[in-house]
Amino acid sequence: MKGFIFDLDGVIVDTARFHFLAWKKTADELGFALTPELNEQLKGVSRVDSLKKILEWAGKEIEQDYFERLMTEKNEDYLTYVERMTAADILPGVEDFLRALKEQGHPVALGSASKNAPLILEKTGLISLFDTIVDGNSVKKAKPDPEVFLVAAEQLGVPTGECVVFEDSEAGVTAANNAGMVSIGLGSPENLGHADHVYSDFTEFTPEFIVNLQPKRK
């Protein structure tokens, strides 16, 4: 019996664009133009590390209290979008895929850097499909460190080599690989070529195919 671990942003729901809009506003305040291309490097990265990257790109050093204020304001901006989310924001094929896994009795976890994961799953009506949620409130180390996936596997009671991870970010795929798990990249092969398999979205494969994937052996 395999365990299935899902990232949130860009995998289950398209909140990646909300993050971009919120971070772009932060970058504008710092006098830096955040591009969609640079934003790719922020996917799957914690809020603290994302702001550090933006400051590095902007060539800025700021006081800690200003740093904390920018993080708080970014999250508040992001949450204004999240509060309006509904089931319509679930990405194509995701809900059917999750329900098929649950019907087959497979344990399912969320493994996300987002501290707003439970709220988003509640808003979209998906929270009951997850056996456990491991998010930014549960772990200390950000992706590409594998901690979030290792904790999820432990909570599911499934060996790491028997876990399949769905990710849309370079850091997330690296974290899954570092955990010794099968990595499924959702997005562009140019960005996610280090994943074991890459697809554009959940409509490109069936639950049966994923369940029959060979586990990784140590």
Catalytic residues, by residue number, are 7, 9
Burial 90-106 (b: 16+ CB within 10 A, else e): bbeebbebbeebbeeeb
Q: Residue 200 gets which letter from DSSP?
A: S
Report yes or no: 22 and 77 within 8 Å, Cβ to Cβ.
yes
Q: Tokens for 177? A: 């690989």
Angle at 102 between CA 119 and CA 121, to 5 degrees: 5
